[in-house]
Amino acid sequence: MADVVKNVDSERLARILPEAIRAIHQVIESHGVTEEEWMAVLGFLTEVGKQDEFVLLSDVTKTSVLVDAISHEGETDVTPSDVEGPLYRENPPWREKPVKIYEEYEGAQKGDVLFVSGRVTSADGSPLSGAVLDIWQTGPDGGYDIWDERQPEYNFRGRFGVDEDGGYEFQTMVPKPYTIPTDGPAGRLLEASGQHPWRPAHIHFKVEAEGHELLVTQVFFPDDPYLDDDTIGAVKSSLIRPLTRHESEEESARRGLEAPFYTCEFDIALKPAMSAARA
Ligand SMILES: [Fe+2]
């Protein structure tokens, strides 16, 4: 095979690129891929680009979880990372205390209120009072704000700070399992390969604090039917947190609620930017 890379400045690119191209060539050769089939592949990738689904394609082929695992291999004493996915939106609103990341809307009644709380610390347990959390999740039905026209802009999204001791709490609603978009090329790939499009319910977190690496992760809940069969394979057992149901009318009234609610605890430990492990 002719050289596929010449005079590349980056040593790493010079090592990886020829191997990646060779891997594609080998698959084409060993299966005798035809011109028609190859043009279909190129058409598929063109559509992935046009519909902005490359992150989704990376997710459903479980490439994102592989890269996440390699990037964070051997990390201990810190909260495990998880893939970001394609549904983060830049510049979500800043939410003041008491933090509530959604507005009431038609459809919210179908869900259960949830208070998530915890502490943000460094790997050694010292509180990070300057930490900022950035949360995004689906509503109790209808999915993300961008798919659900009943929901206000940036609903179930928000950024906020923590207390002096690193403590935080925010009010949201218990998310539900949902399907990734199935009307585009990533959905067609799932269908063609006999895979369902469901993800277990989860809440996405991005947590930043000075002197620490950015943490991107997700929290899952027990007894979800898709915990063992996430279409992007992103569930880590160490990120499953129980939901506690509170039935007391007094407790609900104290929270300004008329129905039972749930709580969930999620403490977050961040990795120092210049950790001993890295040094
Ligand atoms: Fe999600």
pLDDT tens-digit readout, 60-94: 999 999 999 999 999 999 999 999 999 999 999 99
**Hey, how many other C-beta atoms are within 10 angstroms of the C-beta on 270?**
22
> b/e for 21-47, b at 16 or more Cβ within 10 A?
eeeeeeeeeeeeeeeeeeeeeeeeeee
CA 86 – ligand 1 centroid, Å: 8
Q: In the prediction, which pLDDT does 31 show?
A: 98
CA 85 – ligand 1 centroid, Å: 7
Whole-angstrom CA distances from 19 to 13, 23, 226 are: 10, 6, 35
CA 227 – ligand 1 centroid, Å: 13
**Hey, how many other C-beta atoms are within 10 angstroms of the C-beta on 184?**
17
CA 174 – ligand 1 centroid, Å: 13
CB–CB of 104/155 below 8 Å?
no
The backbone torsions φ and ψ at residue 243, rounded to the nearest 5 degrees and listed phi first, read -100, 130
- Is the pTM of the predicted complex or chain greater than 0.75? yes
Quick one: tokens of 154? 């940036």
Q: In the prediction, which pLDDT does 275 show?
A: 54
Q: In the prediction, which pLDDT does 8 show?
A: 65
CA 83 – ligand 1 centroid, Å: 10
CA 125 – ligand 1 centroid, Å: 28
CA 173 – ligand 1 centroid, Å: 14
pLDDT truncated to tens, each residue of the chain (279 aa)?
Answer: 556 666 667 888 889 999 999 999 999 999 999 999 999 999 999 999 999 999 999 999 999 999 999 999 999 999 999 999 999 999 999 999 999 999 988 877 789 999 999 999 999 999 999 999 999 999 998 799 999 999 999 999 999 999 999 999 999 999 999 999 999 999 999 999 999 999 999 999 999 999 999 999 999 999 999 999 999 999 999 999 999 999 999 999 999 999 999 999 999 999 999 754 444
Residues 242, 39: Cα–Cα separation, whole Å: 48
Residues 127, 176: Cα–Cα separation, whole Å: 31
Tokens 């407790």 belong to: 251
Quick one: tokens of 268? 């977050």
Quick one: tokens of 102? 């959604």
Residues 189, 210: Cα–Cα separation, whole Å: 41
CA 179 – ligand 1 centroid, Å: 9
CA 106 – ligand 1 centroid, Å: 21
Residues 212, 272: Cα–Cα separation, whole Å: 4
CA 246 – ligand 1 centroid, Å: 26
CA 1 – ligand 1 centroid, Å: 42
CA 199 – ligand 1 centroid, Å: 8
Q: In the prediction, which pLDDT does 7 show?
A: 65
CA 84 – ligand 1 centroid, Å: 8
CA 90 – ligand 1 centroid, Å: 15
Instruction: Kindly calculate the radius of gyration of the chain based on its CA atoms and give it in whole angstroms.
Output: 22
Rounded to 10°, the helix 35-50/185-192 angle is 130
CA 22 – ligand 1 centroid, Å: 34
